[in-house]
Structure 1
Amino acid sequence: MSYPVDMETRPDVTAFFDDASNTISYVVRDPDSQSCAVIDSVMDIDYAAGRISYDHADQIIAFIRDNGLDLEWLIETHVHADHLSGAPYIQSRLGGLLGIGRNITLIQEMFGKIFNEGTEFQRDGSQFDRLFVDQDRYKIGTMECFVIHTPGHTPACMTHVIGNAAFVGDTLFMPDGGSARADFPGGDAGELYDSIQKLLSLPDDMRLFMCHDYGPNGREIRWETTVAEERAQNIHVGGGTTREEFIHFRTERDAALAMPRLIIPSLQVNMRAGELPQPDETGKRYLKVPLNEL
């Protein structure tokens, strides 16, 4: 498949690493204007204490303000299961439109049942400003951007291509990290392989930006690579790994993995576009723990 790639445009990318969840958030700036986007922001949670804070999001807000930038978009590459989104907090202070893949509705329907949400929980994606579909286009300042539907980790995963930079969410990790799990509800190892092949069909020099890095074998944290490096060196899909080989490996590996530490709060918050559940009649907010469901 041919994509409308613009390798001449090189957005300025600033990364913010969250140690608690090994998440990398990005401010992506148009080099020809003050316009920018925030991708995959983080809201902090002390899970044991049930306390929310915004240190990570405040760093991003300060960076945007200090550089006189105009925030146009807040992008979620997918519904994260390992950290809570800080997008609505940032949006309330800086504006911008909040976007995610249209298949968020599948996630909302699925996890709305698992968490026994009432009829007041909307399952139509209306919590977001834009629901992207495959090959949708939008702009950040003068930059033309487009999205690629890359399901497998979740049904709603989207890769955002902005000039010569692609933000891949959890579809890929750094070459020595391989690929993300595909065993969450709605995940599929075969679909993940197909999605990775879409990314590997992009130009060799396309910069790829990861949503997570765990420093395999003790190396320093990294988040940027290229299509050529992934195609040649990725330990799960590089060097001509077949679809059948990948499905077999991914399925066996996923069966041995523990659930992410923050999956319970993350899914409940992120399917609401980063908003906390509505308070009860006393004004208190609660998260639910479904037993034997995940």
Structure 2
Amino acid sequence: MTFRSESSTVPSALLNDGNAIPTLGFGVFQVADAEAFDVVTAALATGYRSIDTAAIYGNEVEVGHAIREFGLPRDEVSVTTKLWNAEQGYDSTLRAFDDSMNRLGLDFLDLYLIHWPVAAADRFVDSFRALQTLKSQGRVGSIGVSNFTRDNLARVMGETGEIPAVNQIELHPHLAQTELRAFHAENGIATEAWSPLGRGADLKDPAVVEVAGETGRSPAQVIIRWHLQLGNLVIPKSVTPSRIRENFDVFSFELTSDQMHRITALDQGTRIGPDPDAFTYGLDV
């Protein structure tokens, strides 16, 4: 199945497997299951057509409920979920996928990602082989990874013969991931940004505030626009309807090359989330 949309203004990006995905999606990290139905419904009503969740978020049930109840044709909503660390391994990945699909109440998934490499456990290659199986069975449209380093990606590509369609990584003005984005571009891997606003911290940076003033836009809109012009897929999250709408209103203006440069220059290599090389939460290694 290839994503299409006749009901949203969001441009799509073509992945290396020929499938498409909206460049702007909606993330539900730290959205409680009890809130997820209303939040995802608000996002879909605004025009978002890409919803990103994960098994560990604990909200797949209501995310899926909202998608089904909203009533759009299935091929007009791109749905992503992720394999959690504790479920890595070939057979356990296949079981985890079934569990996620049961919670979502869907029979097809647009994008399935390995959430973290957990390289010390050395199971991510076998996990990716399971994703290849799911794709060959027609149960998943595209397969990819999240939080993978260049070395992790090289192992997957070298040992499975397939290039992941997406690598979803922490990426915001204070962590621009320039070298990893360049590696992605060289290999046809789409870069997807999680925590695209730096969990709010980047919104207060004087340079971002200055560009917001110049454009007559909010700091959040400026940063999301920066992502889009870099070529990133971006999945901002909010539970506030007005901010959900504000974050979507980013296609009627552009940043100048100077404004882009000033925001990119904020890069300090500062992470908010864990170091992918060291993160093993949820798995004994």
TM-score band w.r.t. shorter chain:
0.3 to 0.5
Q: TM-score, normalised to structure 2's length?
A: 0.40
Q: TM-score, normalised to structure 1's length?
A: 0.39
Higher strand share: 1
Higher helix share: 2
